[in-house]
A and B are shown apart, each in its own frame.
Chain A
Amino acid sequence: MSEIKYLRPASMEEASALLIKHGAEAKLLAGGTDLLLQLRNNLIKPRYLIDIGFLPELSSIAQNEDRINIGAAVKIAEIENSEVVRSQLPALASAARVLASHQVRNLATLGGNLCNAAPSADTAPALMAFGAEVSIYSPQGIRKMLLEDFFAGPGKTILKQGEILIGVTVPLPAQGSKCIYLKHTLKRSMDIAIVGVAVKIDWVEQTCQNVGLVLGAVAPTPIRIKQAEAMINGSKLDQETVIGAAEAAALQCQPITDIRCSGDYRRLMVKVLTTRALEMLKNGVTEN
């Protein structure tokens, strides 16, 4: 006899109420591509699965005036193929495109990728480089924060009991803004990043402004390298600046050694990929 009960609430209020009622015995389900594996490997033992994957409040991509809202239950495949994302946030579309496989992307959600909070989460670096904010639902109301403050550690977010990620809001990049996401993997594909680099630069009269430079997979959470950003801001991205920024990024990260590769290798790849990303942006290349 199954111990698990499957619930499909009709609204955020109902979902949150169920989450609070059942506490640690409940898990939220959307795409299920991470959750089901954890369940099968007995890493989690929920008695209630609360399916929020069908809630309309969480399922749209919309451009409003000066921002783009992406709901937590939006599939990675939808982000990959969205005209709005491809034209306004191309590095996010690139990130979506290299996440797992076609089949996984048709199930996996943005909210799942962010709330699972793997340090290597593919959607995080580009979103952080764009200055994205998250919206969080709680019975007390909706609170917002920068995505860069959402992650607390490997597999951990700041979400409290009963809180549900609603989605992300990305400020519309300025005219002349360019961005890129580079993902280094052991195999061609179907692999998590061993290093991820996202860079966003607003070009104003051939000078860099509002730089976002984010590393994934080389720290307990995705991290912004503010020292590197400060070096690049105000510069014309000359060779010296590129070298300095790449070195700052390599110094600031805290990569681990694991079964995939050594920390030293990751640190070296941070330098290589940061240099490559900056040079590609300088040359107007935004596709890897």
Chain B
Amino acid sequence: MKEIIRLKVNGDDYELLVEPELSLLKALRDSIGLTGAKEGCGAGECGACTVLVNNKAVNSCLMLAVQADGCEVTTIEGLAVDGKLDPIQQAFMDHGAVQCGFCSPGMIMTAKGLLAEKPNLSREQIKDGLVGNICRCTGYSKIIKAVHALSLKTSGGNE
């Protein structure tokens, strides 16, 4: 039996009619048309579906849309403001941390969630923070470098 949910996505208000078993991921992609979040595994293992819900990074494939009623969701599409990239997106570009780009939205949203909680992260903390995000192309090192460089910049260069 369908439920009405009301949620904010990237600052915009949405009212959706959803089946209870619809994942937040499918609601974002199919009902709203925000296809940045990807279904890599559908099981919470790969992180390609990562979005922020109330500022916390979560696997949107593991949340039901009905659980997001009343929540504020941020997807990769919501990061850039007036065409200006988020510092994380800029760091990924500057450090060549994107190849095919499939994992990138999830990587960036997880990094955003991590840095929001702790702006000053060591390389080991970044590696631990990104264990839930799989990348097939880059071998991770430039992704870690990008996030670390941003972390150092934010903390004024003090590690």
> Residues of A at under 8 Å CB distance from B?
2, 4-6, 29, 32-33, 36-37, 39-40, 49, 51, 53, 77, 81, 100-104, 106-107, 188-190
Contact = CB atoms under 8 A, between A and B. Distances in A.
Contacts of A104: 44, 59, 62, 132
B45 A189 contact: no
Contacts of A32: 62-64, 67
A100 B66 contact: no
A107 B3 contact: no
B153 interface: no
Interface string B54-90: 0011110011101100000000000000000000000
B129 interface: yes
B57 A103 contact: yes
Interface in B32-66: 42-45, 47, 50, 53, 56-59, 62-64, 66
B20 interface: yes
A103 B67 contact: no
Given A37-B44, A102-B113, A104-B62, A190 B19 contact: no
B62 A33 contact: yes
Which label, helix, strand, loop or mixed, suits the secondary structure of the B interface?
mixed
A2 B1 contact: yes
Given A2-B1, A37-B43, A107-B62, A102 B131 contact: yes
Interface residues of B, number: 33
Interface of B: 1-3, 19-21, 23, 42-45, 47, 50, 53, 56-59, 62-64, 66-67, 110, 113-114, 117, 128-133
B64 A36 contact: yes
Contact of A107 (B45, B63, B66, B131): B63
Contact of A103 (B1, B21, B44, B128): B44
A5 B20 contact: yes
B58 A6 contact: no
A33 B67 contact: no
Contacts of A29: 64, 67
B66 A6 contact: yes
Given A2-B21, A4-B21, A188-B131, A51 B58 contact: no
B41 to A, nearest CB: 10
